[in-house]
Structure 1
Amino acid sequence: MPQGEMQGNTGGTAIQRMRTIESITGTLGKIGSLEVRLARDEAEIAAAQEIRYRVFYDELGARKSRLQSLERRDADRFDPVCDHLLVFDNTLPGPDHRRIVGTYRLLRQETAVRAGGFYSEDEFELRRLIARHPGQRFLELGRSCVLPEYRSKRTIEALWQGLWAYFTHYDIGVLTGCASFHGTVPAAHAEALTYLAHHCRTTPAWDISANAGRYCSMDLMPIEAVSAKAAIAAMPPLVKGYLRVGARIGDGCVIDHDFKTVDIFIVLPVREIGARYVNYYGGEGQRFAA
């Protein structure tokens, strides 16, 4: 989805930042040469923003401002208040910030309250969902990207190890966020979106809708004409990854003209993560969560 106000040099100083990393400063996941941890300084956050620029703007053609073209960074007002989960390839030369190959942006509920809300509220009615579950702690996942040469199962598993350690440490109850289809025409993804609308929707307790002014239907063709195999094959890897671990999809999609994407909303209560993934990621992630 990435959209919203874009600004240069939004990292700020450690004192200015509203993030609270607390005790999570070490490794959160490790597979082979890949290591996952949170960004520790402004140089690492800037490097993550540079990777986001390479993926969202250079590769996928998002609309960029003159300032963004000069700085070659994807940055907005939420970056200073988020935690930035980073994947490092320890075989690469140079300082840590030059070995980053992937990133995820994490915004916890208590931090979002201080920041004036969640990023995805511009597209989906997240505030209403949170109000219905006052006993839960929500975590918004966003700005997920990996350099092309690292888009593998191993990198995704390393990221999920890190995520597991993170949400275990902070006692997160619900994972949320947007996932995107490329382009600005929902009908181009009719089979996949229709399949999601009929087979992967949230339960009533966890239902969420796109904001009324931006709502686009996902039910775009007769369900009897949808091939499940073809629909799933047409989904972006991130969407398929969320579905595998038990995520469900909210009502409606949103067109993001700045980033040239069709966005859907992911809802994943932690307790509903599939048992085999709990055993797989939980066992590894627990090692790093303390």
Structure 2
Amino acid sequence: MMTIELLNRELTLDTQAPALTPTDTDILGRIGSLETRLARNAREIDAAQAVRYRVFSEEMHAQLGAEADRRRRDVDAYDAICDHLLVIDRAIEGDVEDQIVGTYRLLRQEVALAHGGFYSASEFDIEPLLTRHPDKQFMELGRSCVLPAYRTKRTVELLWQGNWAYALKHGMGAMFGCASFPGTRPEEHALALSFLHHNVAAKGEWAVSALPELHREMDLMPIEGVNARKALSAMPPLVKGYLRLGAMIGNGAVVDQAFNTTDVLVVLPIASISDRYINYYGADAGRFAS
């Protein structure tokens, strides 16, 4: 109960969302000059990859390789099969490619299985999770990033508006994906990782673990030594955002040397999303789209 109260106390719901015009049929949401929708063409995907490079390589010091550095793009094979959710600031002068300030990569289960599987499977043993839920379609969220000047409540709300609308449109039963802590030393995040382990671990039919050869312990502090308020303050905003929605965290972290991160797996059944947020975004994803 302490966890939910602390998380909800941090969110002030914004009720000012301008309506869309009838011609904006593929826009999933809009607040002020910001809007969210899927990339429409290869140029927009390329621009999203440039945003990813700026965040992952230039800011977070990921080692993406010589070709990525030459092109100044974060690119991998999954880009060709994923949908790319964008946040666009129409107040920025220039072409739409210059206006992309945030992005998320979305991969549906049917698409993943037709092309060799999910990205997260390189770090986490997700096959048992999928097998236990043959009646549900899973959706992987990845490569989330936002330019520093846009790391605000409004941008995060639009990204989640887009995810929610996309999940409803495609009949998804659960979302999952890697979320990252900065750096490659899990012990530097002992408080936050221990809080996740003790309080929001995915169990039972939703249990999932890091691959044995990559598994790093998250149980770094005893439960009585974990201060919930301090732990939540130490969480990356993306992880905290997942928790607000009702997400669980898999067993074990994975160190990603290339991206200079410590990753955890987030599991979010659609049915577990807090009613508070379903009411906020709209049961039909219409909160920011009408």
Q: TM-score, normalised by structure 1?
A: 0.89
% identical aligned pairs: 55
Who is 1:43 aligned against?
43
Q: Is the Cα–Cα contact under 8 Å of residues 139 and 172 in structure 2 kept in the other structure?
A: yes
Alpha-carbon offset, residue 94 of structure 1: 1.2
CA distance in 2, matches of 1:53, 1:38: 19
Alpha-carbon offset, residue 64 of structure 1: 2.9
Who is 1:130 aligned against?
130
Structure 1 segment 52-91 matched on structure 2, within 5 A: 52-91=52-91
Structure 1 segment 99-138 matched on structure 2, within 5 A: 99-138=99-138
Q: Deviations over 1:158-186 (max 9, x none)?
A: 11111111111001100000000000000
Alpha-carbon offset, residue 287 of structure 1: 6.8
Q: Is the Cα–Cα contact under 8 Å of residues 103 and 144 in structure 1 kept in the other structure?
A: yes
Letter of the aligned partner of 1:272 in structure 2?
S
Who is 1:159 aligned against?
159
CA distance in 1, matches of 2:64, 2:97: 24
Displaced runs of 4 or more, over 4 A: none
Who is 1:240 aligned against?
240
Q: Deviations over 1:224-256 (max 9, x none)?
A: 111111111001000000000100001000000
Letter of the aligned partner of 2:132 in structure 1?
R
Who is 1:281 aligned against?
281
Alpha-carbon offset, residue 288 of structure 1: 8.2
Who is 1:143 aligned against?
143
Q: Deviations over 1:23-67 (max 9, x none)?
A: x97101111111100001000000000000000000000013121
Structure 1 residue ranges without an equivalent (≥5): 1-23
Are positions 1:201 and 2:205 aligned together?
no
CA distance in 1, matches of 2:125, 2:196: 19
Who is 2:10 aligned against?
none
Q: Deviations over 1:72-97 (max 9, x none)?
A: 00000000000000000011111111
Structure 2 residue ranges without an equivalent (≥5): 1-23
CA distance in 1, matches of 2:131, 2:225: 38
CA distance in 1, matches of 2:194, 2:38: 36
CA distance in 2, matches of 1:272, 1:284: 16
Alpha-carbon offset, residue 285 of structure 1: 1.9
Are positions 1:31 and 2:31 aligned together?
yes
CA distance in 1, matches of 2:283, 2:135: 26
Who is 1:98 aligned against?
98
CA distance in 2, matches of 1:139, 1:59: 28
CA distance in 1, matches of 2:36, 2:207: 32
